[in-house]
């Protein structure tokens, strides 16, 4: 990455994007107002040594993980995402409504990534490609692949994992939202909660054992994994600081020890 951006220029560029998903330090003292803030947990992730490696971030959104790969010394980073909100695996019962809603609140897909990349002086290359369509013919092979908080949003996460494995020549770091209640009640039994109707765009939320089993079922060998940690809500999150309601939310706050979305990560070998 090149030298840091001027803070005033950074603030003006940030304001051009209506919704930031990631909190990214794009200039000294200037973070983007993200819905989520991965900065407090980034060191807890089971990063492999990426120095000099060819790396891929699948479902990059504003690019936090891709820029982190670059910061850690990757020789080349490719970041992929869908090109349009219409390409999410939308809930059947919502019809076209969720695309319209996302277009309204999140604006143009990929706009935040482009602004952050420019402000950071980053060389990360963006490719618009659906996770299901990843193939060595299109992108070649990567030493390290990372993917965060995507599998739960896919109707067919194992098909996506097969495509991810097809471009992974070495290691895969999978970071996923997990179900805290299922994890605490069944620490060793691989389980997942089925959704697809709540309006949250979530299909499968596994417990920690379920996340690891999905990786194994796709052919990966898990090398190490984290326990559950909370992904922090960023200042752009509409629910930050408000008291959430409902027994499940209460249970998650008590079991998780704070406010945030339960996640777990694993490093696996192809």
Ligand X SMILES: C[S@@+](CC[C@H](N)C(=O)[O-])C[C@H]1O[C@@H](n2cnc3c(N)ncnc32)[C@H](O)[C@@H]1O
- Does residue number 82 form part of the binding site for ligand X (CB under 6 A)? yes
Task: Decide if 172 contacts 268 (C-beta within 8 A).
Answer: yes
| 88 or 186: CB nearest ligand X | 88
Instruction: Compute the C-alpha angle 114/130/135, nearest 5°.
Output: 110
* Least gap, CB of 267 to ligand X (angstroms): 15
* Least gap, CB of 149 to ligand X (angstroms): 4
- Does residue number 148 form part of the binding site for ligand X (CB under 6 A)? yes
- Does residue number 165 form part of the binding site for ligand X (CB under 6 A)? no
Task: Decide if 74 contacts 1 (C-beta within 8 A).
Answer: no
| 81 or 179: CB nearest ligand X | 81
* Least gap, CB of 63 to ligand X (angstroms): 8
Q: Which two tokens stand for residue 39?
A: 């900065």
Closest to 99 in 3D by CA, of 109, 111, 85: 85
Binding residue (CB under 6 A) for ligand X from 149, 174, 202, 232? 149
Burial of 115 (0-12, 13-18, 19+ CB in 10 A): buried
| 148 or 256: CB nearest ligand X | 148
- Does residue number 81 form part of the binding site for ligand X (CB under 6 A)? yes
Binding residue (CB under 6 A) for ligand X from 31, 48, 59, 157? 59
Q: CB within 8 A of 137, min separation 6: which ones?
A: none
List residues bridging with 270 in a β-sheet. Answer: none
C-beta pairs of 116-119 under 8 Å, 24+ apart in sequence: 116/22, 116/24, 116/26, 116/32, 116/62, 116/63, 116/67, 117/63, 117/67, 118/13, 119/5, 119/9, 119/10, 119/13, 119/26, 119/27
Q: How far apart are CA 35 and CA 105, in angstroms?
A: 12
- Does residue number 47 form part of the binding site for ligand X (CB under 6 A)? no
Binding residue (CB under 6 A) for ligand X from 27, 56, 116, 150? 150
- Does residue number 30 form part of the binding site for ligand X (CB under 6 A)? no
| 76 or 84: CB nearest ligand X | 84
- Does residue number 130 form part of the binding site for ligand X (CB under 6 A)? yes
- Does residue number 203 form part of the binding site for ligand X (CB under 6 A)? no
- Does residue number 110 form part of the binding site for ligand X (CB under 6 A)? no
Residues that bind ligand X (CB under 6 A): 59-61, 64-65, 81-82, 88, 130-132, 148-150, 153-154, 175
């Amino acid at each position: 990455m090149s030298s840091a951006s001027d803070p005033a220029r950074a603030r003006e560029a940030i304001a051009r994007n209506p919704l930031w998903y990631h909190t990214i330090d794009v200039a000294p003292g200037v973070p983007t107002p993200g819905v989520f803030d991965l900065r407090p947990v980034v060191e807890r992730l089971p990063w492999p040594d990426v120095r000099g490696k060819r790396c891929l971030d699948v479902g990059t959104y504003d690019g936090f993980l891709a820029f982190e790969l670059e910061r850690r010394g990757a020789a080349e980073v490719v970041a992929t995402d869908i090109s349009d909100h219409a390409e999410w695996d939308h809930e059947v019962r919502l019809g076209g409504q969720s695309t319209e809603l996302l277009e309204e609140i999140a604006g143009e897909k990929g706009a935040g990534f482009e602004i952050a990349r420019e402000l950071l002086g980053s060389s990360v290359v963006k490719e618009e490609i659906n996770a299901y369509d990843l193939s060595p013919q299109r992108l070649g092979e990567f030493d390290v692949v990372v993917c965060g908080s995507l599998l739960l949003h896919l109707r067919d996460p194992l098909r996506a994992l097969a495509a991810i494995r097809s471009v992974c020549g070495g290691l895969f770091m999978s970071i996923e939202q997990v179900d805290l209640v299922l994890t605490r009640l069944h620490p060793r039994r691989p389980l997942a909660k089925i959704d697809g109707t709540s309006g949250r765009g979530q299909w499968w939320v596994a417990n920690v054992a379920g996340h690891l089993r999905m990786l194994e079922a796709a052919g990966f060998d898990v090398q190490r994994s984290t326990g559950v940690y909370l992904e922090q809500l960023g200042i752009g999150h509409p629910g930050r600081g408000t008291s959430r309601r409902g027994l499940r939310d209460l249970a998650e706050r008590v079991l998780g020890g704070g406010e945030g979305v339960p996640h777990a990560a694993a490093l696996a070998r192809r």
